[in-house]
C-alpha cells in the first residue's frame, strides 16, 4: 500500500494475478515450477481480495469468478479481452489493434476504460501476470498491434514494465506508437488508493498515443 514497488532479484519468477480464476490456474503452475526447483513469488493485490465488481458503481459482479476445477496458466501466457470483454486468444487480435497491457489492480481499471472508450475506439486489454520476464504470448501480441499502452501498478521509476519494455524494444517488437503509465512516485496513504494507477491515468495515456 505504501511503496507500490516490487523488488525482483535474478532467478525469481514473479507473478501477479487480477482475478480468482486465473489465480487458481496460475497457482497450480507455480507449484509445478517450485517442485522442479524454481523460486516463485506471487504478488497479491489486497484491493482485489474482497472486490466483487469491475465497476463498483455498476455493481456488476464481474470479479465473482467460477473456480476452475482443472487447468494451469503458464508463465508464457497472457489473458486477452476483446472490446466486448470476451476472452480471446492472441492470434485472434486483429492486425492494427490498440491494446492496454497491464496486471493486478489496473486490469479492472483498463476494462472500465474499454467499456467507455469515449472516442478512443476499440481497445483490447492484455492481462500479463508474469512480471519478471516477457511472456511468449505477449511477444506475439506485439506483432499484431498498431499502438500499445503499458499500465503498471507500481510507481513510476520502480515498475516492472520498464524492464519489459526495454526487452521488447531490444527485439524490435514494440509498435511505433507506445506509451507507459505508472502509479504516482510517492508514498500511498494507508487505507486508500489515492496514488494507484486508475482509469483516468489509462485514458490519458491512450489519448497520448494518438
Q: Kindly report, residue by residue over 93-119, the tens digit of the pLDDT.
A: 999 999 999 999 999 999 999 999 888
Task: Note the pTM of the prediction, 2 decimals.
Answer: 0.94
* 206 and 177 Cβ atoms separated by less than 8 Å: no
* 134 and 86 Cβ atoms separated by less than 8 Å: no
Is pLDDT above 60 for 2? no
Locus of grid cell 467499456: 115
The reported pLDDT for the residue numbered 3 is: 67
* 61 and 53 Cβ atoms separated by less than 8 Å: yes
Q: Three cell numbers at 1?
A: 500500500
Give CA angle at 16 (195, 168), nearest 5°: 90
43-59 tens-digit pLDDT: 988 888 889 999 988 99
Q: Judging by beta carbons within 10 Å of its beta carbon (0-12, 13-18, 19+), is residue 136 exposed, middle or buried?
A: middle
The more confident residue out of 31 and 155 is 31
Kindly provide the b/e burial profile for residues 25-47, where b requires at least 16 CB atoms within 10 angstroms of the residue's own CB. bbbebbeebeeeeeebbebebee
The reported pLDDT for the residue numbered 4 is: 79
Amino acid at each position: 500500500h505504501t511503496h507500490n514497488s516490487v523488488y525482483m532479484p535474478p532467478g525469481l519468477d514473479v507473478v501477479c494475478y487480477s482475478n480468482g480464476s486465473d489465480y487458481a490456474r496460475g497457482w497450480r503452475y507455480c507449484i509445478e515450477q517450485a517442485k522442479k526447483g524454481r523460486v516463485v513469488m506471487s504478488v497479491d493485490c489486497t484491493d482485489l481480495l474482497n472486490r466483487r465488481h469491475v465497476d463498483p458503481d455498476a455493481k456488476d459482479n464481474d470479479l465473482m469468478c467460477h473456480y476452475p476445477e482443472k487447468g494451469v496458466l503458464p508463465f508464457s501466457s497472457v489473458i486477452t479481452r476483446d472490446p466486448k470483454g470476451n476472452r480471446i486468444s492472441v492470434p485472434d487480435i486483429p492486425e492494427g489493434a490498440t491494446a492496454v497491457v497491464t496486471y493486478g489492480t489496473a486490469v479492472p481499471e483498463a476494462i472500465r476504460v474499454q467499456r467507455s472508450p469515449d472516442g478512443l475506439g476499440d481497445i483490447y486489454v492484455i492481462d500479463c501476470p508474469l512480471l519478471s520476464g516477457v511472456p511468449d504470448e505477449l511477444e506475439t501480441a506485439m506483432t499484431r498491434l498498431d499502438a500499445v499502452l503499458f499500465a503498471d501498478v507500481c510507481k513510476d521509476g520502480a515498475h516492472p514494465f520498464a524492464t519489459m519494455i526495454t526487452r521488447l524494444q531490444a527485439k524490435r517488437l514494440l509498435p511505433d506508437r507506445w506509451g507507459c503509465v505508472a502509479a504516482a512516485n510517492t508514498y500511498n496513504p494507508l487505507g486508500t488508493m489515492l496514488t494507484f494507477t486508475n482509469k483516468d491515468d489509462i485514458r490519458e495515456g491512450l489519448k497520448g498515443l494518438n
